[in-house]
């Protein structure tokens, strides 16, 4: 029997490609340059499967133009690149890669929080610019993380992993807001207390965003929400761009409405709002929350499992269609 045909749209670990080649006729984008939507449609002609990174838009235009497509597997937990309704209408399964990046991404959330609150990037720029001439009482004074109040918006796996780090590692008081309240046992185990979104914004010394992107979470943090936060607060976004109104955040930083921010994701990335590039007290990183060798390999292998199980097993493990 002919193997199904698979498009791998970016360069990934050769060992994962080798695994996929046992089950598929594989075309991989060796150039590692993102394809335009038209190039992606062209490359998908006659193929049944797509290995995606999480940034390729799978919408009704692509689905209509690629009638052989049966499955798109993201090697990311986020799947806001999928128009799930259109995929379901075209009989195309979408899968994501949850679980395997939880702890790595939570580590990175803390790295950004610490870097922003303790002004690590600013300190390095100050030193490299030759501005460090003497000790001064108030040079690059930041905010304490230990013993402060950690606010978490979105309490899925990564939110819970952040809560554990804050509660057990840094002796923080942890509060969270989520679509639904967690079971008592999970609240006890993570040391987290459920509060309203307003209370979260008002009470957090450090607020970390970990909620999924959807129409409902678009600009969940805008000028009105930033105005409720403490002027000493830090905001960290490791979720998705678009959840924060980047222009409003840049303005809030300029006006000292909040103390600092750490961002790994941006609306319209890889471009970054020019206001943020110029804003003070903000640490900016290029969407690397899950970027460690073992975790990237685990994510790629999980996407591969989903593809292999769809064609040769009991069905995909992580479907996102309802």
User: Looking at the annotation, which residues are catalytic?
Assistant: 240, 269, 287
Size of interface with ligand DGY, in residues (CB under 6 A): 7
> Closest approach of Cβ 23 to ligand DGY, in Å?
23
Give me the DSSP letters along 97-149. Answer: --STTHHHHHHHHHHHHHHHHTTHHHHHHHHHTT---S--TTTT-----TTSE
CB of 310 to ligand DGY, least distance (A): 19
Read off the DSSP letter of residue 317.
Answer: S
Beta bridge partners of 235: 207, 261
Helix, strand or coil, per DSSP, at residue 32: coil
Contact segment (CB under 6 A) with ligand DGY among 26-34, 73-81, 113-121, 135-143 equals 73-81
Instruction: Report, in Å, the least distance between residue 243 CB and ligand DGY.
Output: 12
Scanning 36-44, 70-78, 142-150, 177-185 for contacts with ligand DGY by CB under 6 A, the matching segment is 70-78
User: Which CB atom, from 66 or from 235, has the smaller least distance to ligand DGY?
Assistant: 235
Distance CA 174, CA 62 (A): 43
The C-alpha R_g of the chain, in whole angstroms, comes to 21
**What residues contact residue 45 under an 8 Å CB cut-off, 6+ apart?**
66, 68
SS3 249: helix
Stretch that binds ligand DGY, among 76-84, 132-140, 224-232, 241-249 (CB under 6 A): 76-84
Q: Which is nearer to ligand DGY, 100 or 116 (CB)?
A: 100
**Stretches 34-42, 74-82, 152-160, 277-285: which one binds ligand DGY (CB under 6 A)?**
74-82
Give me the 254-293 binding string for ligand DGY, x by CB under 6 A, dash otherwise.
-----------------------------------xx---
φ/ψ of residue 47, rounded to 5: -105, 150
Q: Which of 28, 51, 54, 306 binds ligand DGY (CB under 6 A)?
A: 54
Is 81 one of the binding residues for ligand DGY (CB under 6 A)?
no
Q: Which of 4, 78, 151, 159 binds ligand DGY (CB under 6 A)?
A: 78
Give how far Cα 301 sits from Cα of 12, 100, 158, Å.
10, 10, 20
**CB of 246 closer than 8 Å to CB of 275:** yes
Assess whether the previous peptide bond of 270 is cis (omega < 30° from 0). yes
101 binds ligand DGY (CB under 6 A): yes
Q: Is 309 exposed, middle or buried (0-12, 13-18, 19+ CB in 10 A)?
A: middle
The only residue of 7, 16, 44, 77 in contact with ligand DGY, by rule CB under 6 A: 77
**How far apart are CB 143 and ligand DGY at their closest, in Å?**
26
Residue 76 touching ligand DGY (CB under 6 A): yes
Residues near ligand DGY, by CB under 6 A: 54, 76-78, 101, 289-290
């Amino acid at each position: 029997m002919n193997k199904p045909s698979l498009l791998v749209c970016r360069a990934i670990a050769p060992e994962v490609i080798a695994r996929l080649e046992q089950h598929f006729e594989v075309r991989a984008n060796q150039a590692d340059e993102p394809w335009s939507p038209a190039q992606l449609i062209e490359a998908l002609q006659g193929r049944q499967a797509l290995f995606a990174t999480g940034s390729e838009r799978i919408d009704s235009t692509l689905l209509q133009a690629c009638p052989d497509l049966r499955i798109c597997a993201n090697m990311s937990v986020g799947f806001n690149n999928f128009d799930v309704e259109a995929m379901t209408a075209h009989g195309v399964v979408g899968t994501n890669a949850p679980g395997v990046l939880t702890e790595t991404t939570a580590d990175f959330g803390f790295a950004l929080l610490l870097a922003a609150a303790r002004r690590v990037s600013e300190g390095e720029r100050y030193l490299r610019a030759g501005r460090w001439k003497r000790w001064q009482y108030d040079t690059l004074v930041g905010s304490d993380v230990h013993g402060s109040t950690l606010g978490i918006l979105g309490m899925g796996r990564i939110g819970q992993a952040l809560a554990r780090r804050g509660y057990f590692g840094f002796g923080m008081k942890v509060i969270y807001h989520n679509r639904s309240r967690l079971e008592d046992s999970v609240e006890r185990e993570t040391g987290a207390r459920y509060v309203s979104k307003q209370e979260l914004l008002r009470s957090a010394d450090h607020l970390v965003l970990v909620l999924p992107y959807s129409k409902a979470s678009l600009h969940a943090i805008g000028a009105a929400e930033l105005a409720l936060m403490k002027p000493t607060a830090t905001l960290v976004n490791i979720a998705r761009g678009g959840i924060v109104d980047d222009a409003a955040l840049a303005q809030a930083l300029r006006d000292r409405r909040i103390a600092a921010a750490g961002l790994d994701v941006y609306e319209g990335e890889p471009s970054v709002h020019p206001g943020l590039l110029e804003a003070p007290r903000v640490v900016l990183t290029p969407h690397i929350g899950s970027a460690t060798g073992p975790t990237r390999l685990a994510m790629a292998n999980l996407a591969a499992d989903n593809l292999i199980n769809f064609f040769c097993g009991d069905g995909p493990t992580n479907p996102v269609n309802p």
